[in-house]
Chain A
Amino acid sequence: MIERIVFYSLSAVTLLAALGVVTLRNTVHSSLLLGLSLAGAAGLFASLGADFLFAAQIMVYVSGIAVLIMFSVMLLGRASDLHLRQVNEQWMAALLICAVSSAGLLKIARAYSETLPAAAAAPQTRTLGLLFMGDWLLAFELVSLVLTAALLGAVFFSRSEASR
């Protein structure tokens, strides 16, 4: 019972916030609702028993990426933009595509309608740690390389002309 309420409310928050992200005219509002949507997703992670991921989601996405996007929006935003439409003219085609695609996706989803969780959720931190440092060490290191490259790229691209 509790589980159901939790799930539906979290899902509602996530989905409605997402809708807000893609439809609102005010970009700042969009970015704030993005943060909310991401938080809702974190809650879903928690309900699924992925505790580390829930924490990581909050730390990385909500307080990292969402904030960053908010910064950029505020840097780029102009007051005159508030009156402009933010959705372009191919929204009907996009809607159609979504509708068509949903048919297939939902069908697959419904195929698992009987599946129930096998066991209780276990804490994952230790398992993940062992995984990263053991079997998936190479992938772990490569990902850190990716991060380094991203960092360097970002620094490079955002330098102003004067300092080049």
Chain B
Amino acid sequence: MIELAYLIPLIPAAAAFVMLFGGKEDPHSPMPWVGIAAMGVCLALSVSIFWAAAAGTVALPYEHNWHWFSFAAQVAGKPFVYDMPIGVLIDGPAAVTLVVVAMVSLMVQVYSVAYMHGDIRFKLYFAYVSFFTAAMLGLVASSNLLVTFACWELMGLSSYLLIGFWFEREGPCEAQKKAFMTTKLGDSGLYLALLFLYAKVGSFQLSQIYQFFDKGYMPPMVATVIGLGILLGAAGKSAQAPLFIWLPDAMEGPTPGSALIHAATMVAAGILLVSKTYFVFLASPTAMEAAGWVGLITAFLAASMALVSYDIKRVLAFSTVSQLGFMMCALGVGGFTAGLFHLTTHAFFKALLFLGAGSVIHSVHTNDMRQMGGLSKKMPLTFVTMLIAILAISGVPGLSGYYSKDMILANVWNHDHRMFWILLFTALMTAFYMFRLFFLTFWGDDRDHEKFHHAHESPALITGPLVVLAVFSAFAGAGLNHNGLVYKLIAKPTISAAATAAPAPGEHAAAVEPAEHSSAHEAAGEHGEHHEGHLPPWLHLTTIVLVLCSITLSFFLYRGPTYAVADAVKTSLAPLYTLLERRWYFDDFFYALVVVADKVAALAFWIDDNVVDRVFVDGWGLLMRIFAQLSDLFDNVFVDSAVDGVGGLGNDVGVGLRSLVREGQVQEYLMYAAIAFSLAATLILTR
């Protein structure tokens, strides 16, 4: 079935176009089922590929290329063929991610049928969602970095369209522009990296680029630049600091859209890109270290901002940013498997969290948690599924999030102890604020009686996906960790020629069998990864205890109908609260940047208008005019008078000669003739 892998992105794309152009826009249109059916097929294909990969019946990586275009050119006098194929490259991470994306997308689409019921652009929404999914699947499965980049940009477009879905209001419009521009800023780095790659390697094919790095042809400086460029692109798309500012505002879009894009799949695209091009980071320790620190800072800042938020979706948005920081940090310290494992589990429980929040919002018609409370009595199914998700994200042992987070912490501990303590503190904050959300929403007594009275459990089409995702949130972690499946599937790549600075004691790069396939993911599979994925037992136990403590703290602060203690703490730490509430002033910083840029541009224009134009252009014109007038003067005074003088001289000579003769006297004329005759006679005849 893996030969049909190319269909996986194409089926949703076709469905998207069918839904876009077929049928009329109708709040109760049946077109969404076309998309759902397409996604079902996609999911089946992805699962079959995953199953084959897990069982080992198909050899990964699987690559198949079709010829797209090529042309011959001359480079420095030598002939060179530009060859651009298009095709699929399915390796372990791709196989896992395909399943994740297809599953989450399917759940979201089913959910949306009920959630977006009655919306004026009902059909268009599903077209957008299918289109987005097709782009994401294309990014995951593509073997060509240029096609990946194209899908990357298409996802940016879909995100723009979905955030601003309700564009009649001003909030979504501002948010969609902010998202697009911020991610575009990051994309500039990615574009630069692509240019460097192509300039050095001469090809966009991932397998060929890996070979290039493997043989050590890439100079370290260029590798660093490429790595930092990719990191910048990932920072834009995966909302790392300082480009995370768009994600909290992106909550203006419909909640299922947020679940798909901003929780589970699109924001993971950055992490995925880093993992696809991991050999770049292996070749450049600087870029790797930068990735680690960027991820750590992001995780910490976002978690701190989530502590003070009252909007249920905003808390989840900050949580997403924070978890993405975890993933990036894991990749940056060399925990390749850990990062991608967390990506998978996070997709499930974050999608569940968003859909659950959507269910709550749908029921009580408000986002503000201060108006909720005691909803466990009214919405039992939502309550249970949300609890499972929150337990998973907090890293409570047994659920999926525990395994992945544990793996990340272990990798960080083995890399740098300072980073570990900061990350641990962030994990504790995560547990705290997630349970804060849980207690404020579902526990205790209601705070707003009117809303509580009208609250009800959501219909089956909404709660069904919640249940499915809850199952995955609970068991996906354990399932993947069973028998080290995750290590086998998501094996850390190596490059033979570079000095890998990731200090992984068990990482014997030399233990790699000579790779026949030109992919990065065949190496170092089963051997030395196991003991690296665990913390020392005392630390492990300490971590679990600390997490439970923070949950308990949250319980005591937020379980009652009022949270007076929490409020007291807030007022006593007012400056800190303001800092967190203003999102560490990142928004203000960027706004100031824009204002400064505007002023600089205005200054440049002023200089151009007043200095350049006046001095050079007008001045030159004035100079030319002066010169022209001088020429005119010269012409009048000298040249014209010379001409007049000559004419006047002729006239004067004639008049003068005429005055010698008394006019009209013939004999005088005769006299002159006679004079001439006499002169002639004398001169000629007397010679």
The reply, when asked whether chain A contacts chain B directly with Cβ atoms under 8 A, is: yes
Report the stretch among B277-285, B503-511, B573-581, B678-686 that lies at the interface: B678-686
Stretch at the interface among B432-440, B620-628, B669-677: B669-677
State the CA gap A144–B685 with chains docked (Å). Answer: 35
Assess the B686–A90 pair: CB atoms within 8 A. Answer: no
The majority secondary structure among interface residues of chain B is helix
The residue in chain A whose Cβ has the minimal distance to the Cβ of B675 is A97
> Are B671 and A101 in contact, with the CB atoms below 8 A?
no
Is the pair A101, B667 in contact by a Cβ cutoff of 8 Å?
A: no
Q: Would you call B668 an interface residue if the criterion is a C-beta within 8 Å of the partner chain's C-beta atoms?
A: yes
Q: How far is the CA of A105 from the CA of B682 in the complex (A)?
A: 8
- For B685, what are the chain A residues with a Cβ–Cβ distance below 8 Å? 104-105, 107-108
Give Cα distance in the complex from A17 to B684, angstroms: 31
Q: Which of A88, A93, A94, A105 contacts B681 (CB 8 A)?
A: A105
Docked pose: A88 CA to B677 CA in angstroms: 21
Complex alpha-carbon distance, A94 and B675, angstroms: 9
Our pick among B667, B674, B684, B686 for the contact of A97 (Cβ within 8 Å) is B674
Alpha-carbon distance between A98 and B678 when the two chains are bound, in angstroms? 8
Contact between chains at A100 and B667 (CB < 8 Å): no
A103, B674: Cβ atoms under 8 Å? Answer: no
Residues of B642-687 at the interface with A, using a CB-CB cut-off of 8 Å, are: 667-668, 671, 674-675, 677-679, 681-686
Interchain CB contact under 8 A, A101 and B686: no
Cross-chain contact of A90 among B667, B678, B681, B684 (Cβ < 8 A): B667
Give the shortest distance, in Å, between A108 (CB) and chain B (any CB): 5
Interface of A is mostly: helix
Q: Which residues of B contact A100 (CB under 8 A)?
A: 678-679, 681-682
Segment 44-102 of A: residues with Cβ below 8 Å from B:
88, 90, 93-94, 97-98, 100-101
Measured in the bound complex, the distance between the Cα atoms of B686 and A101 in whole Å is 10
Q: How far is the CA of A98 from the CA of B674 in the complex (A)?
A: 9
Cβ of A105: which chain B residues have Cβ within 8 Å of it?
681, 685
Check A97/B668 contact, CB under 8 A, given A105-B685, A107-B685. Answer: no
The one of A88, A93, A94, A104 in contact with B684, judged by C-beta atoms closer than 8 angstroms, is A104
Query: Are B668 and A101 within 8 A (Cβ)?
Result: no
Q: How large is the interface on B (under 10, 10 to 19, 20 to 34, 35 or more residues)?
A: 10 to 19
B667 pairs with A88, CB closer than 8 A = yes
Q: Point out the residues of chain A lying under 8 angstroms from B686, CB to CB.
A: 103-104, 107
Output the nearest chain A residue to B674 by Cβ-Cβ distance.
A97
Report how far A104 CA is from B667 CA in the complex, Å.
23
Contact B678 A93 (CB under 8 A): no
Across-interface contacts of B668 in A (CB, < 8 A): 90
Q: How far is the CA of A101 from the CA of B671 in the complex (A)?
A: 13
* B671 near A93: Cβ-Cβ < 8 Å: yes
The docked-state distance in angstroms from the alpha carbon of A61 to that of B79 is 117
Q: Which residue of A is nearest B681, CB measured?
A: A104
Is A90 a contact of B682 with CB atoms below 8 Å? no
Give which listed residue, A88, A93, A94, A104, contacts B682 with CB less than 8 A.
Answer: A104
Partner of B674, one of A94, A104, A108: A94
Q: Closest approach, in angstroms, between the C-beta of B667 and any C-beta of chain A? A: 7
How far apart sit A93 and B677, CA to CA, in the bound complex (Å)? 13
* B-facing residues in A103-139 (Cβ within 8 Å): 103-105, 107-108
- CA A104 – CA B681 in complex, angstroms? 6
A100 CA / B681 CA spacing, docked (Å): 8
Quick one: closest A residue to B683, CB to CB? A104
| A134 CB, nearest partner CB in chain B, Å | 35
Query: Once bound together, how far apart are the Cα atoms of A90 and B679, in whole Å?
Result: 18
Expressed in whole angstroms, the Cα–Cα distance for A82 and B530 within the complex equals: 165
Q: Which A residues touch B671, using CB under 8 A?
A: 90, 93-94, 97
**CA of A90 to CA of B682, assembled, Å:** 21
Q: Give Cα A97–Cα B682 distance, bound, in whole angstroms.
A: 10
- Residues on B with C-beta less than 8 A from A90 are 667-668, 671
Chain B residues closer than 8 Å to A104, beta-carbon distance: 678, 681-686
**How far does the alpha carbon of A93 sit from the alpha carbon of B668 in the complex, in Å?**
11
Task: Name which residue of chain A comes closest to B676, CB basis.
Answer: A97
The distance in angstroms between the C-alpha atoms of A162 and B668, with both chains bound, is: 36
CA distance A108 to B682 in the complex (A): 11
What is the CB-to-nearest-CB distance from A104 to chain B, in angstroms, rounded to a whole number?
4
Q: Are A103 and B682 in contact (CB under 8 A)?
A: yes
Nearest B residue to A90 via CB reads: B671
Shortest CB-to-CB span from B75 to chain A, Å, is 100
CA distance A88 to B670 in the complex (A): 13
A107 CA to B684 CA in the complex, in Å?
Answer: 11
By a CB distance below 8 angstroms, the chain A residues around B674 are 94, 97
Q: Bound state CA distance, A26 and B402, in angstroms?
A: 163
Q: List, in ascending order, chain B residues with CB within 8 A of A107's CB.
A: 685-686
Give every chain A residue within 8 A of B684 (Cβ-Cβ). Answer: 104
In the complex, what distance in Å separates the CA atom of A104 from the CA atom of B684? 8
Residue ID in chain B nearest A100 by CB atoms: B678
Q: How far is the CB of B155 from chain A (nearest CB, A)?
A: 119
A residues adjacent to B (C-beta < 8 A): 88, 90, 93-94, 97-98, 100-101, 103-105, 107-108
Q: Which 10 A-B pairs have the closest CB atoms?
A: A104-B685, A104-B681, A101-B678, A100-B678, A97-B678, A101-B681, A104-B682, A104-B686, A97-B674, A108-B685
**20 interchain pairs, CB-CB under 8 A:** A88-B667, A90-B668, A90-B671, A94-B671, A94-B674, A97-B674, A97-B675, A100-B679, A100-B682, A101-B678, A103-B682, A104-B678, A104-B681, A104-B682, A104-B684, A104-B686, A105-B681, A105-B685, A107-B685, A107-B686
| Seed contacts A104-B685, A107-B685; 14 additional CB < 8 Å A-B pairs | A90-B667, A90-B668, A94-B674, A97-B671, A97-B675, A98-B678, A100-B679, A101-B682, A103-B681, A103-B682, A104-B678, A104-B681, A104-B683, A105-B685
